[in-house]
Amino acid sequence: MKDYLSIREEQTYEYIRDFIREKGYAPSVRDICKDMNIPSTSTAHSYINKLKRLGYIEKNDAISRSLTLSKQDAVPVVEIPVIGNVAAGTPILAVENIVEYFPVPESYLKSGITFMLKVKGDSMIDAGIYDNDMILVKKQEVAYDKDIVVALIENETTVKTFYRERDRVRLQPENSKYEPIYVYKDLKILGKVFGVFRIFN
């Protein structure tokens, strides 16, 4: 089947495949044009249509970013836990803290991604984290300045930017409407935020 692809078409296929495997979602036509120096979207569309016709990819023309790989090249998927309220004294991944499981590319595990958490509120919007976003979190108990962390304070989880200041920790909101939280003791770091997953309604 590859004999019927031009060099440029094969390069386009490899770009789409690698993009999906790395990021977990498909590139847009503009992404393809920009990253591959394709001069027009019509040229990119012709490559995509050829790949679709020959069975390399699948595409729903009614939906943007709908490119998917054929089954033999599909991205391996695993399910990771989505954490709800954290019960006092329990490990973060205890069964009673898990509300559901969410499928993500297997490659995310190589980055240390351990669990997801649904964001409530708008205190981190200037960091690109919005209400109802799902954040990808690496489970760890240490944090460094400027890390965005999931912390547990008085049995409530919060997502803030971490700063250590002499005898206290400052958990800084990324929204000027909110004041920082200062913690002198009993702060538990649950993990470091590595990414955001957002579904548009």
**Contact criterion met (CB below 8 Å) for 160 and 124:** yes
Catalytic residue among 123, 138, 146, 185: 123
**Residue whose pair of structure tokens reads 């399910």 in the numeric block:** 79
176 part of the active site:
no
- Which tokens sit at 144? 């460094």
The closest alpha carbon to 187, from 162, 22, 31, belongs to 162
The H or E element spanning position 15 is helix 7-23
Catalytic residue among 40, 107, 160, 188: 160
State the CB neighbour count (10 A cutoff) for residue 188: 14
State the CB neighbour count (10 A cutoff) for residue 43: 16
Q: Tell me if residue 125 falls in helix, strand or coil.
A: helix
42 part of the active site:
no
The H or E element spanning position 32 is helix 29-36
Rounded to 5°, angle at Cα 125 from 119 and 130? 35
- Which tokens sit at 179? 């004041």
Residues with active-site annotation: 123, 160
